[in-house]
């Protein structure tokens, strides 16, 4: 009889996983990085680290392999609705392309339909497609807005992202609580002050 403690199961599962041919091409470069920073990549605690880092990097950059049309999957509906639609407080996690360190925060998306709306749950998924890449916050904001503009053909789109960047916070470049705010306003959100203000005031109201 073998008895396993629950806290050992994680290690056991990893030890059972085959190495070798199936190993991710990222593992060796990660091992090199460990050596370069002065670590012993062969000590116990780091043995599986290259595999874990490879796996997590693949996930955090999985947006490169996602197709926007597949994600939206036809979730566009013809509806006689022309009021503003807002999805607030979408959590975003991305990697800055300058330091490969996370930036994270919230994204707010609004649009005014012409006669087509998109399934609400698709908006956070669309945000993830672009967030799970190496990014700068400005481009992430613009890509989300332009993609919605192209796919829904609404009267306009507004996107605001508020995010903290670990490359600034951890390196002491900025005060701990500083938040970078970016926005992209297209169509009526750019042309009409009232529309833009309605969106921004809804974003600002904490509820
Ligand atoms: Zn950075």
Q: How far is the CA of 145 from the centre of ligand 1 (A)?
A: 22
pLDDT digits (tens, 9 = 90+) for 66-102: 999 999 888 888 888 889 999 999 999 999 999 999 9
Residue 108 pLDDT: 97
Question: Do the bridges between strand 76-78 and strand 116-118 make them parallel or antiparallel, or are there none, so unpaired?
Answer: antiparallel
Mean per-residue pLDDT over the chain, rounded: 89
Active site residue 99: yes
Q: Pick the catalytic residue from 98, 138, 150, 197.
A: 98
Residue 143's alpha-carbon distances to 25, 101, 128, 204, 207, in angstroms, are 29, 20, 11, 22, 27
Whether the pLDDT of residue 24 is over 90: the answer is no
Q: What is the pTM of this model?
A: 0.85
Active site residue 66: no
Active site residue 98: yes
Q: How far is the CA of 102 from the centre of ligand 1 (A)?
A: 8
- Report helix, strand or coil for 55: helix
Mean pLDDT, range 151-174, rounded to an integer:
91
Q: How far is the CA of 178 from the centre of ligand 1 (A)?
A: 14
Q: How far is the CA of 179 from the centre of ligand 1 (A)?
A: 13
Report yes or no: 141 and 196 within 8 Å, Cβ to Cβ. Answer: no
Residues 6+ apart with CB under 8 A from 189: 110, 112, 156, 157, 158, 195, 196, 199
Whether the pLDDT of residue 11 is over 70: the answer is no
* 159 strand-pairing partners: 109, 184
Q: Pick the catalytic residue from 14, 97, 138, 150.
A: 97
């Amino acid at each position: 009889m073998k008895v396993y403690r629950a806290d050992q199961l994680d290690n056991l599962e990893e030890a059972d996983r085959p190495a070798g041919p199936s190993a991710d091409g990222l593992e060796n470069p990660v091992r090199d990085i460990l050596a370069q920073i002065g670590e012993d990549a062969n000590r116990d605690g780091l043995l599986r680290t290259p595999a874990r880092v490879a796996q997590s990097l693949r996930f955090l950059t999985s947006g490169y392999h996602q197709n926007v049309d597949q994600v939206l999957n036809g979730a566009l509906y013809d509806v006689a609705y022309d009021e503003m639609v807002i999805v607030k407080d979408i959590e975003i996690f991305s990697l800055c392309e300058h330091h490969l360190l996370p930036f994270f925060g919230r994204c707010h998306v609004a649009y005014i339909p012409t006669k087509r709306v998109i399934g609400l749950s698709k908006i956070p998924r669309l945000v993830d497609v672009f967030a799970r890449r190496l990014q700068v916050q400005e481009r992430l904001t613009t890509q989300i807005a332009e993609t919605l503009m192209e796919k829904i053909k609404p009267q306009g789109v507004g996107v605001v992202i508020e995010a903290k960047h670990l490359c600034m916070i951890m390196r002491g470049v900025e005060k701990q609580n500083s938040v970078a705010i970016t926005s992209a306003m297209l169509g009526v959100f750019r042309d009409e002050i009232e529309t833009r203000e309605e969106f921004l005031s809804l974003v600002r109201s904490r509820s």
